[in-house]
Amino acid sequence: MNLQQAKFEYLLRLGDSSLIIGHRLSEWCGHGPILEEDIALINIALDFVGNATSLLGYAAQVEGKGRTEDDLAYLRGEREYRNLLITEQPNGDYAATIVRQFLYDTYTFFLYEELKSSKDETIAAIAVKSHKEITYHLRHTTQWMLRLGDGTAESHQRLQTALNELWMFTSELFDMDEVDRLLINEGIAADLDKVKAAWEKRVNEVITEATLLLPVTNIKQKGSREGKHSEHLGFLLAEMQYIPRSFPGSKW
C-alpha cells in the first residue's frame, strides 16, 4: 500500500461515517419529539453532509481517477463503504439516537482535534471547520444524555438500555491498521490510542453524571474497515442511491 492509497482509504473512512450518520439523523426530519429538536437534528445532519462532501471530494481528488464526491457517495456498494458500524445503526427511540450520537460526537471531537494539526493541509482545514461544528453537536448530545439519564425513571431506563445495546460497537472506533500506521508516520492521521484515552475519560464522566452505569460486555463488533457491515447498511444505501442508480449518467 502506498501513501496515496492509504490516504484515499482514510478519507473514505472519515467521509463515509459522516455521510451515514448524517443520513440516519435526517430520517428524524418531521418526526422529532419536539420542534426544537427537529431543528437541531436537521442542523446537525446538514453539518455531516457538508463534512462528508468535503472529505469525499478530497478522496476523489486523491484517487485521481476522475470520480467525484457524488460518484463515491452514490455508486459504491455495501462492501466498498468504510463507515463505522455504529453510524449505520438504526435510530431506534430517541434514547438510542442520542446515545449513538453522543458516543460518536465524543469520538470525533477528540479525533478532529488531533486532525487539526495534520500535515495534510486539506485534512487540517476540514478538521478546523468541522471541529467547531462538532463542539456544538457534542454540547447538544451531552445535554440530552444528562436530561434523559437523570430525567424520569422511564427515560433513565431507555437510555441505559440504548447504551448497553450500542456499547459493542465502540471498540471498533479505535482499531488501527496499516492505513493508520502509515499515515501516522507521515503526521497525517490521528493516533487513535490517544483519542481513545480522551474518549474513555469523557464518556465515563458523562455516564456518571447522567446517573448511568458503564456497560460491561466483551462483545466487540468490527469489520467496517474491510467493508463488512451490519445488515442495516444495505437498506440505507438502497434508499440513498436509488435515483442515481436508476438513471445512470443523469445530472441532478
**How many other CB atoms are found less than 10 A from the CB of residue 202?**
17
The residues near 104 (Cβ < 8 Å, ≥ 6 apart) are 17, 21, 84, 86, 87
Q: How crowded is residue 240: how many other Cβ atoms within 10 Å of its Cβ? A: 16
Torsional class of 118: left (φ above 0), alpha (ψ -120 to 50), beta (otherwise) = beta
Cβ proximity to other proteins, 191 vs 239, nearer residue: 239
The packing angle between helices 121-149 and 153-166, to 10°, is 140
For residue 131, the minimal CB distance to other proteins (Å) is 19
Which of 82, 100, 158, 196 binds other proteins (CB under 8 A)? It is 158
Q: Measured from the CB atom, is 8 or 144 closer to other proteins?
A: 144
Nearest distance in Å: CB 144, other proteins:
8
What ranges make up the beta strands (E) of 76-216? none
Q: CA 188 → CA 77, 85, 109, 124, 130, distances in Å?
A: 27, 23, 17, 9, 17
Query: What cell numbers appear for 20 in the block?
Result: 451515514
Task: Residue 73: name its binding partner from other proteins, Fe ion, none (Cβ under 5 to 8 Å by kind).
Answer: other proteins
State which residue, 179 or 210, has the beta carbon closest to other proteins. 210
Binding region for Fe ion (CB under 5 A): 43, 47, 133
47 vs 63 by CB, closer to Fe ion? 47
Q: How far is CA 168 from the centre of its chain?
A: 15
Residue whose CB is less far from Fe ion, 105 or 133: 133
| Residue 74 interacting with other proteins (CB under 8 A) | yes
d(CA 4, CA 63): 7
Does 243 bind other proteins (CB under 8 A)? Our answer is yes
Position 80 contacts other proteins (CB under 8 A)? no
CB of 222 to other proteins, least distance (A): 26
Q: Which residue is nearest to Fe ion (CB)?
A: 47
Residue 66 makes contact with other proteins by CB under 8 A: no
- Size of residue set near other proteins by CB under 8 A: 48
- Residue number with CB closer to other proteins (73 or 123): 73
Q: Is 109 in the site for other proteins (CB under 8 A)?
A: no
Ramachandran bin of 211, using left for φ above 0, alpha for ψ from -120 to 50, beta for the remaining angles: left
Distance CA 174, CA 181 (A): 13
Determine, following the binding rule CB under 8 A, whether residue 251 of this chain makes contact with other proteins.
yes
Residues that bind other proteins (CB under 8 A): 19, 23, 26-27, 29-39, 42-43, 45-46, 49-50, 52-53, 56, 69-70, 73-74, 93-94, 146-148, 150-152, 154-155, 158, 239-240, 242-244, 247, 250-252
